[in-house]
Amino acid sequence: MGTMVIVACRPKPGREGDLESLTREHVPILRDLDLATDRPAQAMRAKDGTIVEVFEWRDGALDVAHKHPKVHELWARYAEVCDYVPLQELAETKDLFASFTPIEL
């Protein structure tokens, strides 16, 4: 059994398209490295442009990821195009049923 995670990435100005492209690559790269499960990942956009992604790490994979050079490269690419933000900063999370616009992966 893995661990489900939800991450919110706010694009840096002018980097919205780059973040969306990277989001499409993210979980397939983790799967190629045997770090993410085959559970379908989901991505969605908040009203402020933040992308919210939901996926499942394999059991113990997060510890491996922190030592893996390809994951470090991936995280460096994210650092170029976005900032991670707490979910509670998204206006949608104040609603009982938080609603987002889906992104096709």
Residue 80 in contact with residue 14, Cβ under 8 Å? Answer: no
Return all residues near 65 (Cβ < 8 A) that are at least 6 apart: 30, 33, 35, 57, 71
| Percent above pLDDT 90 for the chain | 99
Q: What is the pLDDT of residues 65-101, one digit of tens each?
A: 999 999 999 999 999 999 999 999 999 999 999 999 9
Residue-level pLDDT at 1: 80
CATH of 3-103, one of 3.40.50.970, 2.30.40.10, 3.90.1720.10, 3.30.70.1090: 3.30.70.1090
CA dist 78 and 55 (Å) reads 16
* Assessment of whether the complete model's pTM goes beyond 0.85: yes
Q: Is the pLDDT of residue 2 over 90?
A: yes
